[in-house]
Amino acid sequence: MSIETPEQLEALRATGRVVAEAIRAMRAEVRAGVSTEELDEVGARVFARAGARSGPQLDYGFPGTTCISGNDAAVHGIPGKRRLKDGDLVKLDVTAELDGLYADACVSVPVGRTRGSHIRVAHASREALTSGLLAARAGVAINEIGRAVETTVSSYGYSVCRDLSGHGIGRRIHEEPDVPSFHHPRLNQPLTEGLVITIEPIIAAGKGEVTETGDGWTLRTRDGSCAAHFEHTIVITSAAPIILTARTLRALPGDPAPR
């Protein structure tokens, strides 16, 4: 969607705060031995308290509140009995709907004493997200976001999972336009003020191909390499984007209290 009024921006900020709060609460419980279902329950409680609903459940019938994916599982992992182990890299991908408006964010979290190689791929994804945020401004071609993202990922020697893109968001999870994490030659239309999109480098330490798994949801890297993923929902402006899912928004004086 494209934001037309200050009221819409405030409403979308409220959804963004719920997403950020759910991620904060879930991340605080990440440790060896916790099950992904227990982490999902933590997110579900934050949603319930805020009167928010799970975007993946609403839009796709996803069997969980949030998507939780470990190591070679890149995206759409189903929360369940699996317990995190020391050394895992777990991705918490959280999408909320509040009053009809959606926001989406993801973090990659090391579990216990994680291997340096896992940490490094997480760093690369986070840096790549920052690169994308710095490129995202009204008037810039959409594919310049992907160019910036992939340049950073390549500088680490890692690969973008090209089948998985950022996206427009707002009234549903996935809206126009596609926001790939690489320079797609045809996607050269300019970003416009008010447009709400995600930037989300989903990357692999090895090759970027992903493959479906037997559960019908989880996508894993074909080569079994570790995947990392960071994501924010942002509003395009003529200057720096507004990061709706940034935790720091909550900490500013004058912000409305989280519901």
Interacting residue ranges for Co ion, rule: CB under 5 A? 93, 104, 106, 198, 231
Binding ligand MF3 (rule: CB under 6 A), the pick from 72, 144, 175, 231 is 231
Identify each DSSP E strand in 99-217 by its residue range.
Answer: 101-110, 159-160, 166-168, 175-179, 196-199, 202-204, 210-212
Residue 67 touches ligand MF3, criterion: CB under 6 A: yes
Query: At which residue do the structure tokens 């993946």 appear?
Result: 56
Structure tokens that stand for 202 in this block: 């989903």
Pick the stretch among 8-16, 55-63, 127-135, 205-213 that binds ligand MF3 (CB under 6 A).
55-63
Taking the least distance from each CB to Co ion, the nearer of 3 and 96 is: 96
DSSP state of 255: P
Strands of 202-204's sheet in order across: 159-160, 202-204, 227-229
Residue 95 touches ligand MF3, criterion: CB under 6 A: yes
Q: How far is the CB of 9 from Co ion (least distance, A)?
A: 19
Residue 107 touches ligand MF3, criterion: CB under 6 A: no
Rounded CA separation 236/124 (Å): 23
Residue 150 touches ligand MF3, criterion: CB under 6 A: no
Taking the least distance from each CB to Co ion, the nearer of 56 and 208 is: 56
Contacts for 49 with CB less than 8 Å, ≥ 6 apart: 259
Pick the stretch among 2-10, 24-32, 59-67, 138-146 that binds ligand MF3 (CB under 6 A).
59-67
Contacts for 231 with CB less than 8 Å, ≥ 6 apart: 93, 104, 105, 106, 129, 166, 198, 199, 200, 245
Binding ligand MF3 (rule: CB under 6 A), the pick from 15, 47, 50, 62 is 62
Taking the least distance from each CB to ligand MF3, the nearer of 215 and 255 is: 215
- Picked from Co ion, ligand MF3, none, the partner binding residue 60 (CB below 5 to 8 A depending on kind) is ligand MF3
Taking the least distance from each CB to ligand MF3, the nearer of 18 and 31 is: 18
Structure tokens that stand for 205 in this block: 């330490």
Rounded CA separation 135/242 (Å): 13
Q: Would you list the DSSP string of 67-122? A: EEEETTEEE-PPP-SPBP-TT-EEEEEEEEEETTEEEEEEEEEE-SS--HHHHHHH
Pick the stretch among 32-40, 45-53, 60-68, 153-161 that binds ligand MF3 (CB under 6 A).
60-68
Q: How far is the CB of 25 from Co ion (least distance, A)?
A: 17
Residue 60 touches ligand MF3, criterion: CB under 6 A: yes
Residue 175 touches ligand MF3, criterion: CB under 6 A: no
Structure tokens that stand for 253 in this block: 């004086």
Binding site for ligand MF3 (CB under 6 A): 56, 60, 62, 67, 76, 93, 95, 104, 173, 200, 231
